[in-house]
Amino acid sequence: MPHPFAQRKDRTEGHVQTPNDIIQQAHDGSTVNQWYFYLAVSDYDLAPRPKPDGTRDQATKTPVPDSFKSPFIGQSLESLAEWLRDKPEEVNLETKFFAVLDKKAKDKKVVLVRIAGNQGQEIKPSCVLVDADESSLRLAGMESGTWGELVHAKGEYTPDF
């Protein structure tokens, strides 16, 4: 299932190629050459959905247009989580784990986020910083139990937006 990928820092602060570089490295680091990250926009029109033949749309492929500007710049992780929780049922996106870019993106790092709590409960994000080329593999195999192991191995991270 594709994982939402939100850019939280303004592109003017970093290199314009950053989303392209990160998404490409995440793809190249996957063992099955899948596009796991969906570059989130404010509505769900372009979000992956199951196809009539039973296959699923892949997520965002490079190149991302230079004109792209994330609608999530300046929003909290909690508001991103709410956006995920509010998705239509037919939208094929993971709702417990997602990725964001912060200032470490220039170093080819991705912030993985786990959201604890169900609909109507307080949202409690937990973050870990990983290399872009391992990010899709980490998310593809993620479950609640493995998140604890990842936090133990990498350490809890506070994003720097």
pLDDT at 152: 93
Q: Where are the domains of the chain?
A: 3-154
List the pLDDT tens digit at each of the 161 positions of the chain.
455 555 444 433 444 467 888 888 888 887 776 777 888 888 888 788 888 887 777 788 888 888 888 888 888 888 888 888 888 988 888 888 888 888 888 888 888 899 876 666 778 889 999 998 888 888 888 776 788 899 999 999 999 87
Give the residue among 111, 107, 33 at the shortest CA–CA distance from 72: 111
Helix (H) or strand (E) holding 24: helix 18-29
pLDDT at 154: 93
Any idea of the CA torsion for 46, 50, 55, 60, to the nearest 10 degrees? 20
Q: Which CATH topology does 3-154 take?
A: Rossmann fold (3.40.50)
